[in-house]
Amino acid sequence: MSRRPAGVAAALPETTIFEQMSALALRHGAINLGQGFPDSAGPERVRAAAARFVIEGPHHYPRMRGVEPLREALARFCAASRGLSYDPATEIVVTSGATEALAASILALVAPGDEVLLLAPAYDAYAPLVRRAGGRPVEIVLRPPRWEIRPELLAAAVTPATRAIILNDPVNPTGRMLEPAERMAIADLARARDLCVIADEVWEEVHDPARPHHSIAALPGMRARTVRIGSAGKIFQVTGWKVGWLMADAARAAAIAALHQYLTFTTPPALQLAVAEGLDCERDWLEGMRRDLVAGRQRLADGLARAGWSVLPSEATWFLCVDLAASGLALDDRAAAIALVRDHGVAAIPVSAFYEAPDAPRTILRFCHAKSPETIDAALARLGPARAALAQKSVQMPLTSQSP
């Protein structure tokens, strides 16, 4: 019988599906439409500012809560874009990426035995972080094609032990934006049951230009019970910079900052200062970015539809999904994703990886459309023949899950 090495925790999470599929993409020379990163490098002015600050400094530890210019720029940006006012000195904390903001928030606000509601499909960091805090994740299973959040689903999941709900809006992996009634249903539950809402709003600027994002924190009574989490990597398409932040009332922000100081403590000051300049100066770039993403999403969706893939609605993020069953394929999403990357040279993400429930949907694949027209067209040239080949394979192969 094998034994775990001394000093290793008994229950460690597996490597993420994103890392697994990206590794397979590298191994097979595939076009990577799996892990979410764009082809572009973000606004030149922001990158130039980062280079300037790397040379000029500062070069030493910044303040634990983030450099003052970034916290002030975040306050201005949030007021202009979301209509919400936050004190940069006491209500904003800069973190090393949004996932660190999530970790610090969950570790600070979730106590052993607390239940935390997750709306699945959910970003795969949520449940492990809740467990690491000693809490119990309670999954609310949402289903395609519209993934609606209904009040009765929320009511059925809440118990006297429920303390928080993690809300992702706009939503990864589905690419949708919550309807006002869905957001209100969550707010009603939070107010009625005295719940904290950890609002993962990293995609707040990545949406159709005709449909702006509205934060749940702006609803009556919600600012004081909401932790808003954001990401420069998503806003400016610089995912490797790992500059994130959170906004909350002063008491919660202080509690979360106390955890943050023992995680990463701080974030490179040159990158923080460059993001501050971008938030103040790059509104035109953001408008162009949104137009380009809409065009890329439409290009990929149209090409997939022409090839016989059934494309689900998407209004935001870098992602759109296809339904394998509706595309005439009797394969589960993991088997299809593995076949696509190994045999057809395109990496995708199986959406079942965003669930823990055994009855979760297992026929949905996620593709990243934040790519150049050339990358999208090259992928479509492979995805057309791939659907036909997978249709033939699904005749010979039962619906079953495989491991990458």
Can you give the pLDDT at residue 36? 84
Q: How do residues 231-251 score in pLDDT, each as one tens digit?
A: 999 999 999 999 999 999 999
What percentage of the chain has pLDDT greater than the value 90? 88
pTM summary value: 0.93
9-41 pLDDT per residue, tens = 656 667 778 788 888 888 989 999 998 889 988
Report the C-alpha dihedral over residues 222, 212, 117, 148, rounded to 10 degrees.
Answer: 120
Instruction: Give me the long-range contacts of 130-139 (CB less than 8 A, separation at least 24).
Output: 130/106, 130/166, 131/11, 132/106, 132/107, 133/106, 133/107, 134/110, 135/106, 135/110, 135/111, 135/163, 136/161, 137/356, 138/162, 139/355, 139/356, 139/357
Residues 35 and 162 in one domain: no
Number of domains in the chain: 2
User: Any bridge partners for residue 140, and if so which?
Assistant: 119
Reported confidence tier of residue 403, pLDDT bands at 50, 70, 90:
very low
Average pLDDT over residues 335-362: 94
Rounded Cα distance between 87 and 76, Å, is 10
- The answer as to whether 1 is a domain residue is no
What distance in Å separates the CA atoms of residue 342 and residue 338, rounded to the nearest whole number?
Answer: 6
**b/e code 283-299 from CB counts within 10 Å (16+ = b):** eebbeebbeebbebbeb
For residue 401, being part of any structural domain is answered with no
At 183-203, the pLDDT tens digits run: 999 999 999 999 999 999 999
Q: Are residues 37 and 92 in the same domain?
A: no
75/52 same-domain check: yes
Give the pLDDT confidence of 331-345 residue by residue, as tens digits. Answer: 999 999 999 999 999
d(CA 309, CA 382): 13
Q: Is the residue at 7 inside a domain?
A: no
Asked if 82 contacts 199 with a C-beta cutoff of 8 angstroms, the reply is no
CATH number of the domain residue 222 falls in:
3.40.640.10
Residue 207 DSSP code: B
Output the pLDDT for position 392. Answer: 85
pLDDT of residue 13: 66
**Residue 271 predicted with pLDDT over 60:** yes
Position 402 pLDDT exceeds 80: no
Q: What is the pLDDT of residue 8?
A: 60
Q: Which of 239, 256, 281 is the C-terminal boundary of a domain?
A: 281
Q: Which of 281, 296, 327 is the last residue in one of the domains?
A: 281
CATH number at residue 32: 3.90.1150.10
Same domain membership, residue 48 and residue 37: no
Helix runs in 136-240, H state only: 151-157, 180-193, 232-236
Residue 107: closest CA among 125, 120, 91, 123 = 125
The whole-number pLDDT of residue 12 equals 62
